[in-house]
Amino acid sequence: GAVVSQHPSRVICKSGTSVKIECRSLDFQATTMFWYRQFPKKSLMLMATSNEGSKATYEQGVEKDKFLINHASLTLSTLTVTSAHPEDSSFYICSARGGLAGDTQYFGPGTRLTVL
């Protein structure tokens, strides 16, 4: 099956710093990648949709200047949390679809961000 990786799996940073999370599709070309946020014991909340070579489309209430998304290639998307604050602490998960994966969304393993 299609494999999506994320890096890092866990990151701890100080308040005010920026953190970059990478999402890669390992065995297919991802036309579209999605970024989600998940709070403990809660469902997944879609933050933004990114298509390769295009600007990301953000969901209502998600600050685009806070959460910078880049989808520069068909196998890589990055999420940068700028000027992180403790309330940004969360589990961030990406998913990818397209190419040989078709319409099915395959999820990465997630990144646990803790902002001190």
Site for other proteins, rule CB under 8 A: 1, 4, 6, 32, 34, 42-44, 46, 49, 93, 95, 97, 103-110, 112
| DSSP β-bridge partners for residue 98 | none
Smallest gap, in angstroms, from Cβ of residue 32 to other proteins? 6
Q: Residue 86: phi, psi to the nearest 5? A: -55, -30
Q: How far apart are CA 71 and CA 90, in angstroms?
A: 22
The H or E element spanning position 46 is: strand 44-51
| Residue number, 78 or 105, with CB nearest to other proteins | 105
| Residue number, 9 or 17, with CB nearest to other proteins | 9
Residue 58 DSSP SS3: strand
| Residue number, 77 or 105, with CB nearest to other proteins | 105
Smallest gap, in angstroms, from Cβ of residue 95 to other proteins? 8
Residue 86 DSSP SS3: helix
Smallest gap, in angstroms, from Cβ of residue 105 to other proteins? 6
